[in-house]
Amino acid sequence: MVLPGSFGLADLASTLLTNGPRKALPVSSPRRVRVLLNSSFIIDSTSAILVWEHDAYPHYYFPLSELRHCTFRDKRAIKADGVNRAAVVEITVPGKNGQKDRRTERALRFTNDRSLGALSGLLRLEFGSMDQWLDEDLPIHVHPKDPFKRIDVLPSLRALEIRIFGHPIARSTFSMHLHETGLPTRFYIPFSAILDQSILRGSARTTSCPYKGTAEYFHAVIENNSSKTSIVTDGETGEVTVVGKGEVFRDIAWSYRVTTAESGGVAGLVAFHQERADVDVILDGEVLERPRMLT
């Protein structure tokens, strides 16, 4: 997720004014989207617009007229063809019950100029700068979901084996196959399928996904008794550190303790990073082709 304030809203506006969004799609009415800031719902809308600023995922935009329980003023005008077409906006939300007022300049508005097409009259609030986003009454995590992406979690009784650098790590006759639009199939297995429970060590790394939840990562530590030790530092294979007789394969596996409803079938299971050159997934006795490394 992009951290709040880590990119320029003015630059984003200029890019959108020049090139337009990748696409824009009205959210099906009466679907309700709300935005909470400083204990006030500054947006409560059934007229949200999904705008793709890039190809990865969409962002919610709203009619400026739906901004409520706050005041706003333009802080910086953004021109296109010498005319003011957008502005970086400062929003002030009064405090409640002794709270202080809250201000943010992480908002962008577009003028009502019809030449702006789908962006005309819309407001963009930076996702990470708000306190909470709700889709109906369900919290939105990380970013809005792409309606053209879906998750299918399918149980499988096919024999599955995981190897790291040729070492058998796990074997299972039960796995959950997670199919996510545009991404490699992920194979989730019970932790009990790990052949040596001492291999996996907890990592400090976590990542969040709006379709699955928050993942916790694990290193794999594999004993190396050979006279020759391979140290892998290439970006396509992942970082490997040699510690005594054990090779540490960093962040090579992950698990979701709690998932979203659509990915509930993989909760409490573990998957391995099969894009990495040190990991082989063997399904029904066949080594699967390694997916291209994601960037």
Asked if 103 and 34 sit in the same domain, the reply is: yes
| Cis check: omega of the bond before 30, within 30 degrees of 0 | yes
Cα–Cα distance for residue pair 203/79, rounded to 1 Å: 47
Asked if 194 and 270 sit in the same domain, the reply is: yes
Cα–Cα distance for residue pair 120/287, rounded to 1 Å: 52
Instruction: Please report whether residue 3 resides in a domain.
Output: no
Q: What is the pLDDT of residue 6?
A: 52
Phi first, then psi, for residue 66 (nearest 5°) are -90, 0
The secondary element (H helix, E strand) that includes residue 10 is helix 9-19
Residue range 123-139, pLDDT digits in tens: 999 999 999 999 999 99
**Number of domains observed in the structure of the chain:** 2
Residue range 141-169, pLDDT digits in tens: 999 999 999 999 999 999 999 999 899 99
Phi first, then psi, for residue 266 (nearest 5°) are -105, 0
7-11, 136-140, 173-177, 256-260, range with the lowest pLDDT: 7-11
Asked if 126 and 214 sit in the same domain, the reply is: no
| Domain of residue 90, residue span | 9-139
Q: What is the pLDDT of residue 247?
A: 86
Instruction: Please report whether residue 160 resides in a domain.
Output: yes
Cα–Cα distance for residue pair 230/51, rounded to 1 Å: 47
Asked if 128 and 180 sit in the same domain, the reply is: no
Structure tokens at 147: 């309606």
Q: Residue 175: beta bridge partners?
A: 156
287-to-148, 180, 274, 281 alpha-carbon distances in Å: 30, 21, 11, 6
Q: Decide which of 116, 139, 162 is a domain's last residue.
A: 139
In percent, the amount of the chain with pLDDT more than 70 equals 89
CATH number of the domain within which 48 lies? 2.170.150.40
Q: Indicate the pTM of the whole model.
A: 0.82
CB neighbourhood size of 262 (10 A): 15
Q: Decide which of 113, 139, 165 is a domain's last residue.
A: 139
